[in-house]
Amino acid sequence: MTHRSRALLGAFLTTTALGMGATAYAQTAGSPWDASQLPETRGIVKQYTLTPRGDVDGLILNDGTEVTLPPHLTSQIVFAVRPGDAVTIRGLKARALPLVEAASVTNFATGASVVDSGPPGGPDRFAGELTTSGKIAAPLHGKRGEVNGAVLDSGIILRMPPPEAERVQGLLQPGQPVTVRGTTLKTALGTVIDASAIGASPDQLTELAAGPGLAGPRGEPRRGPGGPPDFGPLPPRPPR
């Protein structure tokens, strides 16, 4: 079988499988890869993880497994998968971490699926700066396993550049009390802080070097049209 034939067969099988769900998001156009050949991970979704811009860039499962997703799939993921849902994930697994780079996510109950084919992400939206305190529930990682933030026991997501996360790694250990200052975005999907300072208490904050986050080209907040959509209330589920 030629490479082209395998690609066409993979696209056909993926489309057929997605059509069996109540709602299916198949983004296989332009992608020759068959996600069904990748390792499978199953679990229950505990919460979304968010970028500093408020996009969904992953899932945390009840067993602590992190699932990374590209932010351009935000609207599809939010529609197809909710916290508490059982999911089947196809993607690459890290060797030494409970970390999966997802190529597809399927809602086990409804059959709704999201498949990544790599469209571009969206622009930015400004959020206000706040200071919050809590305890680290778990560190968060990028696709290469680098630490790029953490989730608090309240469910708030912290994000920071990986070099800064490495520098303050002692503060990102599970159970560690922290105070964080940074640009805070609250959405229907959760709250994310683009951290500018972090410490063990409000009077012991360490300033962090700025990452891409929400800062504009001259350091000013990015505002104006084209910010990532405010999803508002989550859409109703399709009938099963």
Nearest to 80 by CA among 26, 142, 31, 34: 26
CA distance 85 to 43: 8
pLDDT above 90 for 94: yes
CA distance 66 to 78: 17
Bridge-based pairing of strands 99-107 and 66-68 is parallel
Give the model's confidence band at 21: pLDDT under 50 very low, under 70 low, under 90 confident, else very high: very low
CA distance 213 to 196: 10
- Interval 34-60 mean pLDDT: 91
Give the model's confidence band at 238: pLDDT under 50 very low, under 70 low, under 90 confident, else very high: low
- Mean residue pLDDT of the chain comes to 77
Query: Is residue 173 within 8 Å of 149, Cβ to Cβ?
Result: no
DSSP 25: B
Predicted pLDDT at 234: 55
Could you tell me the two tokens for 62? 């009840």
Predicted pLDDT at 184: 86
pLDDT above 60 for 8: no
- Interval 18-29 mean pLDDT: 36
- pLDDT tens profile 181-234: 998 888 778 889 999 999 999 889 999 988 655 443 333 333 333 344 444 555
Q: pTM for the full model?
A: 0.58
- pLDDT tens profile 120-149: 434 444 457 788 999 999 999 998 999 999
Angle at CA 170, nearest 5°, toward 184 and 70?
A: 45
pLDDT above 70 for 29: no
Domains of the chain: 3-14+23-115 (2.40.50.140), 128-207 (2.40.50.140)
- pLDDT tens profile 148-180: 999 999 999 999 999 999 999 999 999 999 999
Query: Is residue 149 within 8 Å of 140, Cβ to Cβ?
Result: yes
Predicted pLDDT at 53: 86
CA distance 189 to 154: 14
CA distance 123 to 17: 32
Q: Please give the full DSSP string across 82-130, using - where no structure is assigned.
A: -TT-EEEEEEEEPSSSSEEEEEEEEETTT--EEE------------EEE
